[in-house]
Amino acid sequence: MKKKKKNNKNNKVLQHYNKVLGIFEHHPRQSFTYKEIAHRVESNNVAIHDQVMKLVAILRNEDKIEEVSKGKFRYLSEFNVLTGEVDMTQRGSAYIKCDEIDDDIHVSSALTGTALHRDKVTVELLSRRGGRRLEGRIVEILERARTRFVGTVEKVKNIAFVMIDDSKVHVDFVVRGKSVKNLNDGDKVVIELESWDLESRNPLARVVEVLGKAGEHETEMHAIVAEFGFKTYFDHEVLEEAKLLPGEIPKDEIKKRRDFRQTTTFTIDPDTAKDFDDALSFKKLDNGHFEIGIHIADVSHFVTDGSDIDREAAERATSVYLVDRTIPMLPERLSNELCSLRPHEDSLTFSAVFELDEFGKIHHEWFGRTIIYSDHRFSYEQAQEVMDKGEGLHYEELITLNKIAKNLGKKRYQDGSIAFESDEYKFHLDEKGKPIEVIKKVRFDAHKLIEEFMLLANKRIAEFVATRHKGQPFPYRVHEAPNMEKLTAFSNMAAKFGYVINSTSHKTLASSINHLVAETKDKPEAMILHPLAIRSMEKAFYTIKKTSHFGLAFEYYCHFTSPIRRYPDLIVHRLLAKYLDKQKYERKEEVEKNCFHSSKMELKAMGAERASTKYKQVEYLSEYVGEQFEGIISGVTEWGMYVELLDNYCEGMIRIKDISGDFYEYYEREMAIIGRRKKNRFTLGDKVRIEVKRTNLQKRTIDFNLIQE
Cross-strand bridge partners of residue 161: 154, 174
Mean pLDDT value of segment 265-289: 94
pLDDT at 646 over 50: yes
DSSP assigned state of 482: P
What's this model's pTM, rounded to 2 decimal places? 0.83
Q: pLDDT above 70 covers what percent of the chain? A: 95
Cross-strand bridge partners of residue 374: 343
Structure-model confidence comparison of residues 546 and 124, the more confident one: 546
pLDDT at 708 over 60: yes
pLDDT at 9 over 60: no
Residue range 131-162, pLDDT digits in tens? 457 788 898 899 999 999 999 999 988 899 99
Q: Give first-to-last CA distance, the chain, whole Å.
A: 82
- 24 and 32 Cβ atoms separated by less than 8 Å: yes
Q: Phi and psi at residue 257, in whole multiples of 5°?
A: -115, 155
Mean pLDDT value of segment 359-377: 98
What count of residues does the chain have? 709
Handedness of CA 388, 392, 393, 399 (dihedral sign): positive
Structure-model confidence comparison of residues 606 and 48, the more confident one: 606
Residue range 470-487, pLDDT digits in tens? 999 999 999 998 888 788
State the number of CA atoms in the 13 A half-sphere of 227 facing the CB.
26
Q: What gap in Å lies between CA 251 and CA 80, rounded to an integer? A: 69
Mean pLDDT value of segment 253-263: 97
pLDDT at 203 over 80: yes
Q: What gap in Å lies between CA 366 and CA 476, rounded to an integer? A: 20
Task: Among 126-140, 309-323, 373-387, 473-487, name the one with the lowest average pLDDT.
Answer: 126-140
Q: What pLDDT is attached to residue 132?
A: 59
- 490 and 537 Cβ atoms separated by less than 8 Å: no
- 94 and 138 Cβ atoms separated by less than 8 Å: yes
Q: What pLDDT is attached to residue 144?
A: 95
- 143 and 153 Cβ atoms separated by less than 8 Å: no
pLDDT at 273 over 90: no
Q: How confident is residue 43, by pLDDT bands cut at 50, 70 and 90? A: low
DSSP assigned state of 99: S
- 481 and 538 Cβ atoms separated by less than 8 Å: yes
**Dihedral of the CA atoms 178, 180, 181, 184 (nearest 10)?**
160
pLDDT at 421 over 80: no
In a 10 Å sphere around its CB, with 0-12 CB exposed, 13-18 middle and 19+ buried, how is residue 140 labelled? Answer: middle
Q: What pLDDT is attached to residue 130?
A: 46
Residue 204's contacts (CB-CB under 8 Å, 6 or more residues apart) are 173, 174, 175, 176, 193, 194, 195, 196
- 689 and 709 Cβ atoms separated by less than 8 Å: yes
SS3 of residue 699 by DSSP: coil
Handedness of CA 176, 177, 181, 182 (dihedral sign): negative
Residue range 542-584, pLDDT digits in tens? 999 999 999 999 999 999 999 999 999 999 999 999 999 999 9
pLDDT at 504 over 80: yes
Handedness of CA 241, 326, 116, 161 (dihedral sign): positive
Mean pLDDT value of segment 245-260: 95
Task: Among 19-33, 102-116, 492-506, 594-608, name the one with the lowest average pLDDT.
Answer: 19-33
Q: Phi and psi at residue 501, in whole multiples of 5°?
A: -105, 110
Q: What pLDDT is attached to residue 128?
A: 54
Structure-model confidence comparison of residues 700 and 144, the more confident one: 144
DSSP assigned state of 78: G
- 138 and 112 Cβ atoms separated by less than 8 Å: yes
Domains, the chain, ordered by start: 2-75 (1.10.10.10), 78-143 (2.40.50.140), 148-214 (2.40.50.700), 240-478+544-610 (no CATH), 484-537 (no CATH), 625-707 (2.40.50.140)
Residue 515's contacts (CB-CB under 8 Å, 6 or more residues apart) are 499
Beta 362-373 vs 258-259: how paired, if at all?
parallel
SS3 track for 523-587:
CCCHHHHHHHHHHCCCCCEEECCCCCECCCCECCCECCCCCCCEHHHHHHHHHHHHHHCCCCCCC
Q: What pLDDT is attached to residue 3?
A: 47
Q: What gap in Å lies between CA 547 and CA 247, rounded to an integer? A: 37
pLDDT at 129 over 70: no
Q: What pLDDT is attached to residue 32?
A: 87
Q: What pLDDT is attached to residue 378?
A: 97
Residue ranges of the alpha helices (H) in 415-473? 445-468
How many other β-carbons are positioned within 10 Å of the β-carbon of residue 327?
19
Q: What pLDDT is attached to residue 669?
A: 77
Contacts 24+ apart (CB under 8 A), 105-110: 105/134, 105/135, 105/136, 106/133, 106/134, 106/135, 106/136, 107/135, 107/136, 107/137, 107/138, 108/135, 109/170
Q: What gap in Å lies between CA 178 and CA 508, rounded to an integer? A: 66
Q: What gap in Å lies between CA 118 and CA 169, rounded to an integer? A: 10
Mean pLDDT value of segment 616-623: 94
Task: Among 432-446, 539-553, 607-621, name the one with the lowest average pLDDT.
Answer: 432-446
Mean pLDDT of the chain: 90
Structure-model confidence comparison of residues 668 and 264, the more confident one: 264
Q: What gap in Å lies between CA 66 and CA 610, rounded to an integer? A: 46
Task: Among 166-180, 230-244, 587-601, name the one with the lowest average pLDDT.
Answer: 166-180
H or E element that contains 356:
strand 346-356
